[in-house]
Amino acid sequence: MVLESIRFSLLCSYRLESGEGTNVDIGITKNRRGFFSIIAILIVVEGAFFTRWLFFSGPQPSSFDWQFPLELLLILWGIGKISESFERREEQRNSRLRDIETRLEALYKWGSVYSADDEEDPNDLAQEEDLDKATKEKIAQYRKDIESGELDLRYHLGVTYWNLSMKHYNPHTIDGYRKAIYWLRKAAKLDYDCDSTLGDAYLELKEYDKAMLWYRRVVRRGDRLAYIAESNIAGMYAEGQGVLQNYAEAARWWSLAAEHGWRFANYDLGKLYAKGAEGLQQDNREAYFHLCIASSGNNLSGIHEQVFQLRDEVAQRLGKWEVSREQKRADEWLASHSKGAEDTTSSQI
């Protein structure tokens, strides 16, 4: 009975993972460690039967029983097949994400954020028809003057588009973000500084590849508030949003934002180093260093208490001399970065 149950479990597991039969997800891929623990237990049970047979019953010269060795080989074969299916799924997922990253990098290097699938939706054009008469005339006059050579009016037309986008953006609804993007893209084509807002809108819509692309454009241009885009890029790497999850890369982008005075980035780095993550070892000293810097910021509205609490928790894991040394290092860092976020820009990708 036990051996038949083992064979049935392996058969069902293999059919599920290979795509044969039912498509029911029994959670194997969500909890691989638990699944392989069960397989290990089955191997132990099978091994116990085999050991009892080998040492207590003993093989008979005239009729050697191959049942237990064959069943053990069957289990190992089943584990191998399931492992292969896990690897195939993971590789397919990684391949899709690599394709997205490659496309983003290519578009970014070409210096353009417009592609064939980013053309204006004909349904969006109806927004211009819904404008009041005065606004239509104002936009038409700006366009006419710009075409005639008055390029300085590009900024004023960009402001007009920006104001129209904010009417839809501020309610913070999905439909509002989509309508706002139409006007924001028009403003961006006029070189109006709204790339970061476009990235935010796409991020809210979970269109992560476009969000990443606009944030990277902000950083490359070295906009005054580029550190916010750097921090958002870090968050996307940390969450695996549109890119392969990469905590080391997230730490790099948060470090860039911190270098440019964004204290929220120091707090995020402190949290990351305090816990550790895949590809990034736990480092209490580095965590305390960043939390000391974060606690000195005046722009951490709403999270001061969390910063101080985490800083004190990390301090308890360190010795007194380590706390003193990291505090001194943080003070020196603050002295050399005294300008603050709003006086710095970024040009590093």
Q: For each successive 10 residues of the chain (349 residues), what is the average pLDDT?
A: 43 40 37 58 66 59 56 72 75 64 53 46 65 84 83 84 84 84 87 88 90 90 87 93 89 92 91 89 92 80 82 90 91 79 43
Q: Does pTM surpass 0.85?
A: no
Burial of 49 per CB tally in 10 Å (0-12, 13-18, 19+): middle
Q: Check if the beta carbon of residue 79 is closer than 8 Å to that of residue 13.
A: no
Measured CA to CA in angstroms, residue 228 lies from 31, 86, 97, 127 at distances of 36, 37, 24, 30
The residue type found at 57 is S
Query: CA 153, CA 146: separation in Å to the nearest integer?
Result: 6
Encoded amino acid at 103, one letter: R
- Residue 237 · residue 246 · CB < 8 Å: yes
In a domain, 57, yes or no: yes
Fill in the DSSP letter of residue 120.
P
Beta bridge partners of 277: 280
Can you give the chain as a three-state secondary structure string?
Answer: CHHHHHHHHHHHHHHHHHCCCCCCCCCCCCCHHHHHHHHHHHHHHHHHHHHHHHHHHCCCCCCCCCHHHHHHHHHHHHHHHHHHHHHHHHHHHHHHHHHHHHHHHHHHHCCCCCCHHHCCCCCCCHHHHCCCHHHHHHHHHHHHHHHCCCCCHHHHHHHHHHHHHHHHHCCCCHHHHHHHHHHHHHHHHCCCCCHHHHHHHHHHCCCHHHHHHHHHHHHHHCCCCHHHHHHHHHHHHHHCCCCCCCHHHHHHHHHHHHHCCCHHHHHHHHHHHHHCECCECCCHHHHHHHHHHHHCCCCCCCCHHHHHHHHHHHHCCCCHHHHHHHHHHHHHHHHHCCCCHHHCCCCCC
pLDDT at 120: 56
Question: For position 136, what pLDDT does the model report?
Answer: 84
Rounded to the nearest angstrom, the gap between the alpha carbon of residue 232 and the centroid of all alpha carbons in its chain is 9
Q: In this predicted structure, what is the pLDDT of residue 69?
A: 66
How much is the CA Rg of the chain, to the nearest whole Å? 29
153-169 helix and 195-204 helix, angle to the nearest 10 degrees = 20
Bridge partners (DSSP) of residue 280 are 277
Residue 48: inside a domain, yes or no?
A: yes
Quote the number of domains for the chain. Answer: 1
| Residue 297 included in any domain | no
Tell me: the pLDDT tens digits for 47-68? Answer: 666 666 666 555 554 444 556 5
User: Does residue 335 belong to any structural domain of this protein?
Assistant: no
* pLDDT score for 192: 84
- Please indicate, yes or no, if residue 219 is contained in any of the structural domains: no
Sign, CA torsion 183/341/276/317: negative
At 78 the pLDDT is 73
pLDDT for position 340: 54
Residue 220 inside a domain? The answer is no
> Residue 272: CA atoms inside 13 Å, Cβ hemisphere, count?
26
**CA-based nearest residue to 99, from 299, 242, 306:** 242
* Distance between CA atoms of residues 25 and 27, nearest Å: 5
Residue 19 inside a domain? The answer is yes
What pLDDT, on the 0 to 100 scale, is given for residue 280?
87
**Is residue 9 in some structural domain?**
yes
Query: What is the extent of the structural domain holding 55?
Result: 2-97
The pLDDT, as a whole number, for residue 133 is 83
The pLDDT score that the predictor gives to residue 339 is 59
